[in-house]
Amino acid sequence: MLYAILCYDSEAVVSSWTKEQDAAVTGKLEVVTDRLARDGRLGPVVRLMPTTTATTLRKGKETVVLDGPFAETKEQLLGFFIVDCASLEQAIETARDLGRANSSNGSYEIRPLRVFRPGSVAT
């Protein structure tokens, strides 16, 4: 089954990392994702821009466009991994591997995918 591993962390903290710290974390995460890719289990990986760049569209008869996400939460969705896992156990184990690579605070939300369309965007 495909799982999304959603990365929640404090944006204030993560954006305070120095360039070197950020690069070190990214490098360690790549070791894990490279292994997943070799096993044919890695789907798209996304890192989102800061929430300051976000825009919210309130749905309804008259849509409303708002600047930023308004939910005041301590942690923000910063990115996600899509990983193919045989079981929830394996998904949790994969999240643990990622967590060991990026030992900052925060949490991973593990959610099975209902629909997955790889899409056609060229990157």
Partner 1 sequence: MSQIAWIDAALRGARPQAMAALVRHFRDLDLAEEAFQEASLRALKNWPEKGPPRDPAAWLIFVGRNAALDGVRKKKSERPLPPEEVLSDVEDAESAIVEQLDDAHYRDDILRLLFICCHPELPATQQIGLALRIVCGLSVKQIARAFLVGDSAMEQRITRAKSRVAGADVPFEPPGPVERAERLAAVATVIYLMFNEGYSATGGTAHVRASLCDEAIRLARLLVHLFPGSAEIMGLTALLLLQHSRTPARLDEHGEIVLLEGQDRSLWDRDLMGEGFALLDKALRHRAPGPYQVQAAIAAIHAHAKRAEDTDWVEIDGLYATLERLQPSPVITLNRAVAVSKVRGAEAALAMIEPLAKDLSGYFYFFGVRGALLLQLGRHDEARVAFDRALALANTPAEAAHIRSQIDRLTET
Positions in the binding site for partner 1 (CB under 8 A): 10, 12-18, 21, 24-25, 49-53, 55, 65-68, 70, 72, 74, 102-105
**Residue nearer to partner 1 on the CB measure, 12 or 113:** 12
**Residue nearer to partner 1 on the CB measure, 56 or 87:** 56
Q: In what order do the strands lie in the sheet with 107-112?
A: 42-47, 76-84, 2-9, 107-112
CB of 24 to partner 1, least distance (A): 6
The torsion angles phi and psi of 68, rounded to 5 degrees, stand at 80, 165
CB of 89 to partner 1, least distance (A): 25
CB of 56 to partner 1, least distance (A): 10
CA proximity to 74, closest of 8, 6, 10, 24 = 10
**Residue nearer to partner 1 on the CB measure, 3 or 33:** 33
Query: Rounded to whole angstroms, how far apart are CA atoms 94 and 91?
Result: 5
CB of 18 to partner 1, least distance (A): 8
**Residue with token string 């005041």:** 72
**Residue nearer to partner 1 on the CB measure, 48 or 110:** 48
The type of residue at 122 is A
Beta carbons of 116 and 108 less than 8 angstroms apart: no
